[in-house]
Structure 1
Amino acid sequence: MRLPSIASLVLALALPLSAWSQQITVSAAASLTDAFKELAAKFEAARPGVSVRTNFAASGVLLQQMSQGAPVDVFASADQATMDRADAQKLIDAATRRNFVTNSLVLIEPAQGGVGLKGLDDLGGAAVKRIAVGKTATVPVGRYTQEVLTAAQLWTALEPKFVQADSVRQVLDYVGRGEVDAGFVYRTDAAIAGDKVRIVASPQGATPVSYPIAVVADSRNKAAAADFIAFVGSDAAQQVLARYGFGKP
């Protein structure tokens, strides 16, 4: 009897493993980068055979990627409006949509060499020449910023000073490197920057900063995607998110 070769044995043994292994892609708002990297690792450790690929960008950019056919299994947005648009375009399974954390908007300045801002009204002063804001078309923090500054009757007057950013993390980088005099980010982002930035104020807007998550309609691994969403809502995951500064939904 002819014995199988070592190569064929290796292939035969590998086939069941590859058949059982699954990968899900999680597209999440840029402000979730650090927390979701940790959650992805914990999820993989708890579910052998399932791997998590993460993709971080501004929520509006992630929506554009999905609408153009990018293979995604889970979508987590930094605002309800972007998830509403995903729902309207039938890009998500609406029945799986959940709110999982909250956040808050803060005004920051460089910790070293800042102008010494005390509040929103100081942004109109001559000492403030550049203010980093998220692009309102694609970056939720930009829309939250616009809402706050419009309510304070400052948006139009400050527009000539705006430096448009592609994500909240880009705003944070601009401020942290001292390339602008001020910027608007989430409280969680300011915490990540440590001693590079100083929180000046926590202006309140009419729209709560609430994050929804959902399974993507075209996901090829909907069961694993749903498991990831359930995991994000678990006590263990919520403790991780709280450690990064996120609030309860």
Structure 2
Amino acid sequence: MQKRKLLIGLALGLASASLSAQTLIVSAAASLTNAFKEINTQFEKAHPGVNIEMTTGASGSLLQQIQQGAPADLFASADQTTMDRAASQNLIDPATRTDFVTNSLVLIVPSQSESKVESVDALKDASIQRIAIGKTDTVPVGRYTKQALEASGDWETLSPKYIPSDNVRQVLDYVARGEVDAGFVYRTDAALMADKVKVVATPKTHAPITYPIAVIAATKEPAVAKQYIQYLSSDAAREALARYGFGKP
């Protein structure tokens, strides 16, 4: 009898724990993948009962998924333009929108390459045939790249060499594997493969690269989602973001 009561109590306890568990779905720009994995683990430890699921990809593609009803509680974009679109469609709670990190655009080449590319101007050399860039309609790093190359007068000139990519990590992989001669990524991504790619230039002629995050308007976990945004300013989260190369706004 005592054993039966113990089993019933255990079952009720498990059921109660299951009911109290909360799942927070974070939709984040691909460049945040590694840093957010670490931060998500930290947040779960600091908030027992919360389980975080993360979807990553190009900011524009993630927004399209949210527009189509994909479940999400938070959206972290690699640019302001994509978040502006989310706001204009009432997909986010504007009061929660927060800029939490900065980044830099860099030009990279394969580390084992014999290429003498040392500047953006060098991309016009006939020996440079393939340049990976993010798709400008959905990938923020692609838009930053276009802004920088338009400012230098090279956007149209280099267009026959472009290899459009679905997100910044794909650009990084293309360069790391030597499938292209060069590519434009964020400094944080280049740092992840410092043994396979090298940074040769840091264009400055583009809009400031700041990442906003906001709570999705249709979230079922508004309180926890807001706590997550607040957590991003904690010492532990800031240390993790800095370790992956992100700056503070």
What residue in structure 2 maps to residue 115 of structure 1? Answer: 115
What residue in structure 2 maps to residue 42 of structure 1? Answer: 42
CA RMSD of aligned residues (A): 1.5
- Give the TM-score normalised by the residue count of structure 1: 0.96
What residue in structure 2 maps to residue 137 of structure 1? Answer: 137
What residue in structure 1 maps to residue 166 of structure 2? Answer: 166
C-alpha separation in 2, matches of 1:166 and 1:228:
27
Cα deviation, residue 171, structure 1: 0.2
Quickly say closer, same or farther: Cα 1:3–1:105, change in 2 above 3 A. closer
Cα deviation, residue 51, structure 1: 1.0
What residue in structure 1 maps to residue 216 of structure 2? Answer: 216
Provide the aligned length of Structure 1 versus Structure 2.
Answer: 249
- Give the TM-score normalised by the residue count of structure 2: 0.96
Contact 1:124 1:158 in 2 (8 A): yes
Contact 1:108 1:185 in 2 (8 A): yes
What residue in structure 2 maps to residue 52 of structure 1? Answer: 52
The answer to whether the aligner puts 1:229 opposite 2:229 as a matched pair is: yes
What residue in structure 2 maps to residue 175 of structure 1? Answer: 175
Question: Match for 2:199: what amino acid?
Answer: I
Deviations 1:88-136 (A, max 9, x none): 0111000000000000000000000241201011101111000000000
What residue in structure 1 maps to residue 98 of structure 2? Answer: 98
Deviations 1:149-182 (A, max 9, x none): 0111100011110001000000000000000000
Cα deviation, residue 18, structure 1: 1.3
Identity of aligned residues (%): 55
C-alpha separation in 1, matches of 2:157 and 2:207:
22
C-alpha separation in 2, matches of 1:109 and 1:3:
67
What residue in structure 2 maps to residue 30 of structure 1? Answer: 30
Cα deviation, residue 11, structure 1: 3.0
C-alpha separation in 2, matches of 1:218 and 1:114:
51
Cα deviation, residue 235, structure 1: 2.2
State the SS of the aligned residue for 1:246.
coil
What residue in structure 2 maps to residue 76 of structure 1? Answer: 76
Quickly say closer, same or farther: Cα 1:3–1:44, change in 2 above 3 A. closer
Q: Which runs of 5+ in 1 are unaligned?
A: none
Contact 1:114 1:181 in 2 (8 A): no
C-alpha separation in 2, matches of 1:211 and 1:235:
18
